[in-house]
Amino acid sequence: MTSTRVYLASGTDAVDASLITKDSVLKGFASDMGISLQRIAGIGDSANDIPLLKIPNIGLVGAPNNAQLIVKKTLKTIERSYISNKDFLEGFMDFYVHCIDAGIEYVFADRDGVLIWKEDLVEKRHLRQIVESMGQEGRPFIIIITGSSYEQNVDFMRKYRLNSSLASNEKIRENPYVIYAENGVVQINILDGGIRNYDKFLDKDLLSVLKTNFLNALLSNVEKRILPVFNLEFSKELSDQHQKIYLPPKKTMVTLNVPRTHHGIEDYRQSPESDHLREAILREMEIVAQDLGLPYEVLGQRR
């Protein structure tokens, strides 16, 4: 997992700076499990999913209809790809059926924008049913790979009842580490909430700079240049994302979450206004990386 650069990505729900991309985690999983990449699939909706979607020789890759334009453009250049005409969880299920038909055994799926979005009762029940039966009778086993934090995923597990009650599924008992948080660095056991932490494989010096100098400079710039323009505040509470940029606690990443609602816009993350906010935050991340002399790459863009 060792990296010598910072990866910047603007997604539908957040703008991230990380030291690891999802492709290295998937390839490591395949190597550790002794599984051919052709038996693994990947689905995502945001720029930080692109490295995973571009893995050579992977069995199948795809996206829901709500995926960012750059993701759809990328998939159109890949032979074994499928873009659903359905959004979010329905789009995932459409892709999942194609995985079954293709004989895929494992699906690496992004969380926000693919498996969840509305968090309504129907979505919660449906996703729970999918997880209950995965890995059985030809249904691929799902690994949820997400940039979100441990704390965010504990909340997700609680809401969607991803807990010890799933121990009835033999495949989950064999591999309970179903959620890969922080792009795979923090892996969560959904049966008991335990974690496997792989931050020891990251560049310690670069990680230290990312979580101190980079983070402090970024927050200062955003507070001066972005919050007043967009009429926003910072939030450190997961439940407080109305007109506020949430700062999730993370061990290995710096993330600014796009507000869920803002000035009468119920789904702000899907609005044109939020695109301008993402662009502004990403631009500030680039400025800080340049000022600190950090090697970086913007995912989804040619450099």
**164 and 133 in a common domain:** yes
Joined tokens for residue 122: 């129907």
**212 and 90 in a common domain:** no
What per-residue confidence (pLDDT) applies to 265?
Answer: 87
**158 and 92 in a common domain:** yes
**What are the backbone dihedrals phi and psi of residue 246, each rounded to the nearest 5 degrees, phi first?**
-80, 135
**231 and 167 in a common domain:** no
Q: Is 278 contained in some domain? A: yes
User: Of the candidates 138, 169, 200, which is a domain's last residue?
Assistant: 200
Q: Is 37 contained in some domain? A: yes
What per-residue confidence (pLDDT) applies to 38?
Answer: 97
**294 and 213 in a common domain:** yes
**91 and 80 in a common domain:** yes
The pTM of the full predicted model, rounded to 2 decimals, is 0.95
- How many CB atoms are closer than 10 A to CB 1? 18
Q: Is 14 contained in some domain? A: no
What per-residue confidence (pLDDT) applies to 200?
Answer: 87
**182 and 58 in a common domain:** yes
Q: How many residues does this entry show for the chain? A: 303
- Identify the domain containing residue 288 by its residue range: 202-298
What per-residue confidence (pLDDT) applies to 3?
Answer: 65
Total count of domains within the chain = 2
- How many CB atoms are closer than 10 A to CB 148? 27
Q: Is 131 contained in some domain? A: yes
Q: Identify any residues that bridge with 17 across adjacent strands, giving them in sequence order.
A: 8, 254
User: Of the candidates 173, 200, 227, which is a domain's last residue?
Assistant: 200
Q: Is 194 contained in some domain? A: yes
State how far the Cα of 185 lies from the Cα of 49, in Å rounded to an integer.
15
Joined tokens for residue 145: 């790979």
Place of tokens 């993370």: 250
What per-residue confidence (pLDDT) applies to 121?
Answer: 84
**191 and 236 in a common domain:** no
User: Of the candidates 200, 215, 235, which is a domain's last residue?
Assistant: 200
Q: Is 8 contained in some domain? A: no
**179 and 37 in a common domain:** yes
In which residue ranges of the chain is pLDDT below 70?
1-3, 302-303
- How many CB atoms are closer than 10 A to CB 103? 12
**282 and 182 in a common domain:** no
What per-residue confidence (pLDDT) applies to 293?
Answer: 97
